[in-house]
Amino acid sequence: MEDERPIADLVRMYLTREGFGVHVEYDGSAGLAAARKLRPVACVLDIGLPGLTGTEICQQLRAGGDWTPVLFLTARDDEIDRILGLEQGADDYLTKPFSPRELVARIKAVLRRTAGPPEGERVRQAGGIVLDPGRRSVQAGGVPVALTPTEFDLLAHLLHRPGRVYTREELLASVWGYAAHAGTRTVDVHVAQVRAKLGASGSVIRTVRGVGYTADA
Ligand code: CA
């Protein structure tokens, strides 16, 4: 969803070329309706839209239990923390002006993440958290926790080898699937979100000062 037609046209062109079916809406309300009706594999949401803003669309999708991967487009750097904030459920973002190739790469990365791990991966447990990769479900203290696909993959990665310390760059490469130029702050923001959602069990994810993060065994 993008109200600037030249940008929308460019995104459509690049994604179509990659074999994606693309549906464009130029207005927020129409965009939300289309997302609900068409059930896309991913949504690219401009923040500044007439009707509903991109963040309002995302909030409404999430409120309705729709966890379709969302990649935000923003014209403002200072919006990033808010976009990635707990209540928004964003999976990634790009700041305008962006390269359409980068957008394609990010969408593919988000789809790889949300495709889930191979069958038969073991259930991981630590500090009251039970993470089931096959069902993509997480419980903390016996209570189901709703994580975005990115948050899930981040937690799964940390729980894969409890005690191992992962640098932010490693997590960015493994979980997000792209190199560190994207900014390691993304990792910090997502770790904070996962911790908050896990409640008391969130302390399992420990910050290793000056290095990165680990999950306590
Ligand atoms: Ca706009």
Residue 81 has pLDDT above 90, yes or no: no
Q: What residue ranges define each of the domains in the chain, with the CATH number in brackets?
A: 5-114 (3.40.50.2300), 124-215 (1.10.10.10)
Instruction: Give per-residue pLDDT as tens, 162-186.
Output: 888 888 888 888 888 765 456 778 8
CA distance 95 to 98: 6
Assessment of whether the complete model's pTM goes beyond 0.75: no
Tokens of 39: 């059930």
Distance 10 CA to ligand 1 centre (A): 14
Distance 4 CA to ligand 1 centre (A): 6
CA distance 45 to 48: 9
Distance 164 CA to ligand 1 centre (A): 42
Distance 52 CA to ligand 1 centre (A): 11
Distance 16 CA to ligand 1 centre (A): 21
Contact (Cβ atoms closer than 8 angstroms) between residue 126 and residue 216: yes
- Position with higher pLDDT, 11 vs 87: 11
Q: End-to-end alpha-carbon separation of the chain, Å?
A: 43
Q: What residues have a C-beta under 5 A from ligand 1, the ion?
A: 3, 46, 48
Distance 5 CA to ligand 1 centre (A): 9
Q: Name the nearest CA neighbour of 96 among 119, 63, 118, 74.
A: 74
